Amino acid sequence: MAKLDILEYPDPRLYTVAKPVKVVDDRIRTLIADMAETMYAAPGIGLAATQVDVHEQVIVMDLSESKDQLRVFINPELVWSSEEHLLGEEGCLSVPDYYDKVERAARVKVKALNEHGEPFELEADELLAVCIQHEMDHLAGRVFVQYLSPLKQNRVRSKLKKRQRAA
């Protein structure tokens, strides 16, 4: 396993739309293991392949306190989302040390493949639903700050560019 570099906003590669995975093979399983290691080390609760500059539809996620319940979503597709929405605070490994409120569907149903290439469907609510939507946005080339006002987006961009120059 290898820890991967996480792209930081406003890196233009974060806006790349991920392509579907054609075959779930050892290369994809290695990517999953590397992404999981990267996510846990960050530390975070979700990571999309786009964030590590791999533009394929792969997401890893673990919302457990014990960090031993890894979920994998390959080629995820939202099949349903509730009309009810939540306004919740989100953060992102690609936007370090910044949190803001984003409105998302309160419940979703997603279908995807697991790390063995087997299809599954999952109904999710609360934090899991938000995390699925957030990570799927990455695969579509979107970062959560794009839901914020232009003023807030500029502030975040300036703050991160300044931080990157100082590093």
User: Known catalytic residue: 103?
Assistant: no
Short-list 162, 139, 159, CA closest to 148: 159
The answer for residues whose C-beta is within 8 angstroms of residue 162's C-beta and 6 or more apart is none
The answer for residues whose C-beta is within 8 angstroms of residue 155's C-beta and 6 or more apart is none
Short-list 73, 70, 67, CA closest to 138: 73
Short-list 109, 134, 137, CA closest to 123: 109
Q: How far is CA 151 from the centre of its chain?
A: 24
List the catalytic residue out of 8, 56, 90, 135: 135
Catalytic residues: 135
